[in-house]
Amino acid sequence: MDTVFILINIALMLALIGLLIFMQKRHVSFSKRVFTGLGLGILLGVLLQVAYPADSEIVSTTTEWYNILGRGYVQLLMMIVIPLVMVSIIQSIINLEKSADLGKMSAWIIGILVGTAMIAALVGIVTASVFNLDANQIEIGQAEQDRGFALEETLGEVENLSTPDKILSFIPANPFLDMTGQRSTSTIAVVIFSVFIGVAVLGVRRKKPEEAAKFTEIINAVYAVVMRIVTLILRLTPFGILGLMANTVAGTDVAGILELGKFVGASYVALISMFIIHLILLALFGLNPFTFLRKVLPVLGFAFTSRSSAGTIPLNIQSQKNSLGVHEGIANMSASFGATIGQNGCAGIYPAMLAVMIAPSQGIDPLSFGFIVQLILIIGISSFGVAGVGGGATFAALIVLSSMNLPVALAGLLISVEPLIDMGRTALNVNGSMLSGTVTSKILRKLNIKTYNNPTAIEKDTTI
């Protein structure tokens, strides 16, 4: 009998896929198809929640099949991330008018990412205090205890990673290893390797222009092919979001959300507050924040459902260039750096809220000036090299809590609501990277204002 229900669930998914294909053939805009996929995925997930017990074989088998659509799409994006980052940055540097622009671009992007992460930490501190969050108020179950023990074991692997060691981890000792994405800093390492190649080409161009011209021609050809692959993959975004959202809602621990509803609510208040701060920053630089918000929503929708900053890089770059008018080189760097540096949600808000929650259990006043300053500075430093995939926030929290001499095991208290909060954190991370690219372009006078203000520019992504 279970097999019949599983087949019915698969048939429902196929019917919804057919609806999205019909919308694509009718030339419905990309953003509308994305949010249709999001809404349909929520409805399908709710149906699974209501119709079957969460731990039933029907739900587990159904979600495994749905994963072909959801996680399969994310894996396709991850497949193209490294080639896209590498070729895009090399081409961007080759096309720079002045090599000095590279340093300015990097400095502004990283500065904005880390600066907003520190602001996010302050938002997390204030929110946790206003909601009076306290780790002692949460009951610890077996799953939370197991998670706590696992975190303590993980801490043994990362607690000796000093700031100089973290900086050294950015250097690609083996660029071919980093091209496989095996390290949390692999994306940055590939960026650095690509920068060396681009700068080397600029040097060769002065001494051997013919050889440089040949290499540039090859890079331009490879770039065209890679971008075509990106376009082909991005066409699948509405379908990927459908599968991801259906699985996320179907697997949501409703009891855990009710138990930790106060923390979930406080987390989203902090995340929304930081989103508003992002919009205020745009306004301060003379840019219409509502135009920005409308154009980045499809990207944020995917980031929300996939919980992967790294997987969102291709869509991030495309949207910055085509919809916001961001300079190509800046778009590539901000999307790449933003996946592992200065993540406002995972490296900023989350560790700060945990620290404020846990501090009272250790007899520490979380609102003391010394505690707040120390916490914000540590978060700013530790925001380098956070993994741009699910679980990156836990890694960031380990570093911050251990640096503040707070017990990391208590972070296991939130295991049941981690996926739900991580969705919002990832969307904020991606928004922060797009903000850094847009503001940097504006500061360096490389932003195409006409494209930014053009309400139809977003449709350039919708014809893919």
pLDDT at 458: 59
Lowest mean pLDDT among 51-60, 124-133, 211-220, 439-448: 51-60
Output the CA torsion 421→427→428→433 (10° steps): 150
Q: 49-58, 230-239, 264-273, 381-390: which has the highest mean pLDDT?
A: 264-273
Asked whether residue 298 carries a pLDDT value surpassing 60, the answer given is yes
171 DSSP assignment: S
pLDDT band at 462 (very low <50, low <70, confident <90, very high): very low
Residue with tokens 């219409």: 288
pLDDT at 461: 46
pLDDT at 436: 96
Mean pLDDT within 295-305: 90
pLDDT at 242: 92
pLDDT at 370: 92
pLDDT at 158: 47
pLDDT at 406: 83
Buried b (16+ CB within 10 A) or exposed e, 432-451: bbbbbbbbbbbeeebbeeeb
Task: Measure the CA angle with vertex 277, ends 343 and 323; round to 5°.
Answer: 75
| Per-residue model confidence as pLDDT tens digits over 189-209 | 888 898 899 889 988 988 898
Asked whether residue 419 carries a pLDDT value surpassing 70, the answer given is yes
pLDDT at 261: 80
| Per-residue model confidence as pLDDT tens digits over 304-362 | 988 888 888 888 998 999 999 998 889 988 998 888 888 999 889 999 998 998 888 88
Cβ neighbours of 192 (radius 10 Å): 17
Closest CA to 397 of 455, 133, 407, 388: 407
| Per-residue model confidence as pLDDT tens digits over 4-42 | 888 999 999 999 999 999 999 998 888 788 889 989 999
- What is the share, in percent, of the chain residues with pLDDT greater than 90? 36
pLDDT at 337: 87
For the chain, report the end-to-end CA distance as a whole number of angstroms. 41
pLDDT at 91: 84
pLDDT band at 118 (very low <50, low <70, confident <90, very high): very high
pLDDT at 237: 87
Asked whether residue 139 carries a pLDDT value surpassing 70, the answer given is no
pLDDT at 1: 65
pLDDT at 463: 46
Radius of gyration of the chain (CA): 22
Residues facing residue 341 across a β-bridge: 384
pLDDT at 295: 93
Instruction: Supply the angle between the helices 100-130 and 186-207 in degrees, to the nearest 10.
Output: 160
Asked whether residue 135 carries a pLDDT value surpassing 70, the answer given is yes
**Greater pLDDT, 384 or 309:** 309
